[in-house]
Amino acid sequence: MSQYAIELRGLHKSFGKTEIIRGASLAVAPGERVAIIGPNGAGKSTLFNLISGRLKPTSGEIALNGRRIDGMAPYEVSRLGLARSFQVSNLFGKLSVFENLRCGVLWSLGYKYAFWKFLAGLADANERAEQLVRDLNLERKRDTLAMNLTYAEQRALEIGITIAGGASVVLLDEPTAGMSKSETARFIELIREVTVGKTLLTVEHDMGVVFGLADKIAVLVYGEVIAFDVPEAVRRNAKVQEAYLGSVLADAQAAEAGH
Amino acid sequence: MNASAKKYGAMGARDLIIWGIAIVVMLAAPLIFTSSLAITMLSQMGIAIVACLSFNMLLGQGGMLSFGHAVYSGLGSFVAIHALKAIGGGSFPMPVGLLPLVGGVAGLFFAVLFGFVTTKKSGTTFAMITLGISELVFAASLMMAEFFGGEAGISANRVVGKPVMGISFGPQIQVYYLLAIYTIVCTAGMYAFTRTPLGRMLNAVRDNPERVEFIGYNTQRVRYISFIIAGFFAGVAGGMYALNFEIATAEVVGAARSGAYLLFTFLGGATFFFGPIIGAVLMVVAFVMLSEITKAWLLYLGLVFLLMVMYAPGGIASLIMMNLRVWKFGKLGRVLGWYALLAVTGAVMFIGIAAMIEMTYHIQLNEALGPVMRFMGVELNVKSAAAWIGAIVVALIGIGLFEFTRRRFALHWGEVQGEIEAAIRARESA
């Protein structure tokens, strides 16, 4: 029995004739913080969609804490302790910050589809949601509707909903996308704080964020994980250099051709 | 009630006062409006309130646009009327006062059955499936005469056996008080639902079904259970209808009634819990009184609906809440003058347009009565050019003045809202 938090074995995903994920394999130990990097179109977001149940793999296996989850619906994966955030904030627009977070904690505390209990009486859910409001530094916006928040606040709430259910494995899809430099620095600190002790997978373009958050880096190129190691080793890896240099060369050529 | 419980959405003193007033109004209304027409209308309002509130569990709270809600209230009516017949025949020993619950169980049963199909999908697909089921049930009602009674419908007598403590449900006032109790209990029940985990997740499904799946909830299950609960309350309304009218005909499951629930829930305001209550009251007023005043009442209704969708999509409830906010910030005085102007110019516009509508209807329907008709105390000859030109001129002047006022008002309103938002921001950062 493997006791990896997340394990991908020979994962394939095709859209029509286009193969996006071509035999990706990855094994992440519990508590590891992994950044997935790769050129545009490498399949990073698709990989997250496969793991979180949004898409079903064409073939291959995905295991969460040793348990197969490929082919499960997102809510089933979520109930087993895997949560994800989205690149474009995916909130409950007409509910307040507090209500958004309370929705995030309800299932994990066992309230399910209850219509015979009042929300106001759920002390544990209310305390947890209140704690999250404080952790995210959104006290002042506690009763503001999600759709009326600033961009950075929406990104914070996005992370808040993701971690609200107390999942042990957290997937963050470009958490700092669209943020300014100073916002990003503060935000990385926030993510570090709220994901202590969890297994963390992030997709990132910003190398500053990658080195700030990750213990290990997985490099995804053309739907395959070509390297998975500590940052120093990945930097020295010949295949990675080739892949990245290749794309840099291609960019340079494209730029020249444009002249 | 302490402050921290209130923070989590528990009912505060103010909510209790509003509920108390609503209950007193319901109980005292027949003492003030004592005519038999008034009591008939009040009874129907109770039924409509339960029906529209149950409809809004789907529309306002769950974002599910149902074109077939009358299926559940209507089938509730039919099952209840059969139960009432059975009670009268002595084969079903049950107090008549519990009849709405029979309707409720029937509504619940059919919601379990049909909801399993409809709630698989959301959005447009959901709307289409509900429309299909509505047509299906209506067609069945014309075919299965034993259950639906064909053209004549099914009728029964609610006065059964000896009066219990003087209550026989013969007099309408006794029925009214029974319906009032059901209305209050059902309203409280549906309000309570909005404050439960399922009720809140239903809002979440409305706002963002995709994200709901990633926080552990099956959106189909959330929709399905909520649909069943809405079906139950719709069925209770149907049972109340059966008790009140002692008859059920095919039109109670028809598309027109489903459309009326939709139209008036929207008019009242789907975004606030109390909106459909306003809508339900208007529904009865329109059906009973407006239809007496003019034959063109459906046309006016359509116009009002159109204007509401375009200019106040939150319905009357949202208009009330917006003005309450303006009032709270002490700026209501600045818009009241504008309201008066809008009312006056709107009235001019309305008189011109209404005169044309009424003259057209007169030509189409009352030709035999001669060319002269009375409109707002004035005699108009529908065959004379002067009457038409007059109406057109009044309408054009009205439209021009109203539109001019409306644009100026919109600017002014935006200014007031801007000030309020600035005040809120200042308060937040303080």
Residue B339 and residue B225 share a domain: no
Tokens of B318: 């949202």
**How many structural domains compose chain B?**
2
Of A189, A215, A188, the C-alpha closest to A201 is: A215
DSSP string for residues in B129-181: HHHHHHHHHHHHHHH-HHHH-TTT-EE--S--SSPBTTB-S-SHHHHHHHHHH
pLDDT confidence of B1, banded at 50, 70, 90?
A: very low
For residue A40, count other CB atoms closer than 10 A to its CB. Answer: 7
pLDDT tens digits for B320-331? 999 999 999 999
Residue B221 and residue B84 share a domain: yes
Count of CA atoms in the C-beta half-sphere (13 A) of B78: 26
Interface of A with B in 98-157 (CB under 8 A): 99, 102-104, 106-108, 111-122, 126, 140-141
Residue B89 and residue B39 share a domain: yes
pLDDT tens digits for B370-417? 888 888 888 888 888 999 999 999 999 999 999 999 999 999 999 999
Q: Chain B contacts of A164, Cβ < 8 Å?
A: 215
Q: Is B154 exposed, middle or buried (0-12, 13-18, 19+ CB in 10 A)?
A: buried
**How many structural domains compose chain A?**
1
Q: Tell me the pLDDT of chain A averaged across its residues.
A: 90
Q: Which helix (H) or strand (E) holds B301?
A: helix B297-311
pLDDT confidence of B238, banded at 50, 70, 90?
A: very high
Has residue B282 got a pLDDT over 70? Answer: yes
Has residue B26 got a pLDDT over 70? Answer: yes
pLDDT confidence of B165, banded at 50, 70, 90?
A: confident
Decide if B11 is inside a domain: no
Q: What integer is the mean pLDDT of B291-302?
A: 90
Question: CA separation (Å) from B328 to B177, B411, B424?
Answer: 36, 20, 12
pTM of the entire structure? Answer: 0.92
Decide if A204 is inside a domain: yes
Residue B279 and residue B349 share a domain: no
- CB spacing of A111 vs B221 below 8 angstroms: no
Residue B355 and residue B270 share a domain: no
Decide if A1 is inside a domain: no
pLDDT tens digits for A126-140? 999 999 999 999 999
Say which of A84, A121, A165 has its CB closest to residue B216. A165
Say which of A78, A92, A122 has its CB closest to residue B216. A78
Q: What integer is the mean pLDDT of B125-140?
A: 95
Q: Which domain holds residue A237?
A: 6-258
Residue B136 and residue B230 share a domain: yes
Decide if B324 is inside a domain: no
Radius of gyration of chain B (CA): 24
Residue B250 and residue B284 share a domain: yes
pLDDT tens digits for A95-120? 999 999 999 999 999 999 999 999 99
The CATH number assigned to the domain holding B101 equals 1.10.3470
Residue B109 and residue B224 share a domain: yes
- CB spacing of B215 vs A102 below 8 angstroms: no
The packing angle between helices B172-193 and B13-32, to 10°, is 160
Sheet with A224-229, strands from edge to edge, namely A82-84, A169-173, A199-203, A33-37, A216-221, A224-229
The CATH number assigned to the domain holding A28 equals 3.40.50.300
Decide if B88 is inside a domain: yes
Domain final residue, candidates B243, B275, B307 = B307
Decide if A39 is inside a domain: yes
pLDDT confidence of A1, banded at 50, 70, 90?
A: very low
When comparing pLDDT for A71 and B165, which is higher? Answer: A71
Residue B204 and residue B61 share a domain: yes
pLDDT tens digits for B186-211? 999 999 999 999 999 999 999 999 99
Decide if B319 is inside a domain: no
pLDDT tens digits for B76-119? 999 999 999 999 998 988 999 999 999 999 999 999 999 999 99
Query: Highest-confidence range of A186-200, B272-286, B378-392, by mean pLDDT?
Result: B272-286
Q: What is the pLDDT of residue A143?
A: 93
Q: Which domain holds residue B408?
A: 329-429
Has residue A250 got a pLDDT over 90? Answer: no
Q: Chain A contacts of B206, Cβ < 8 Å?
A: 94
Interface of A with B in 12-71 (CB under 8 A): 52-53
Q: What is the pLDDT of residue B120?
A: 93
For chain A, the residue count is: 259
Q: What integer is the mean pLDDT of A35-41?
A: 88
Residue B94 and residue B132 share a domain: yes
Count residue pairs from A and B with Cβ separation < 8 A. Answer: 111
Residue B224 and residue B124 share a domain: yes
Residue B292 and residue B343 share a domain: no
Decide if B344 is inside a domain: yes
Say which of A108, A114, A126 has its CB closest to residue B216. A108
Of A116, A130, A132, A217, the C-alpha closest to A166 is: A132
Domain final residue, candidates B275, B307, B339 = B307
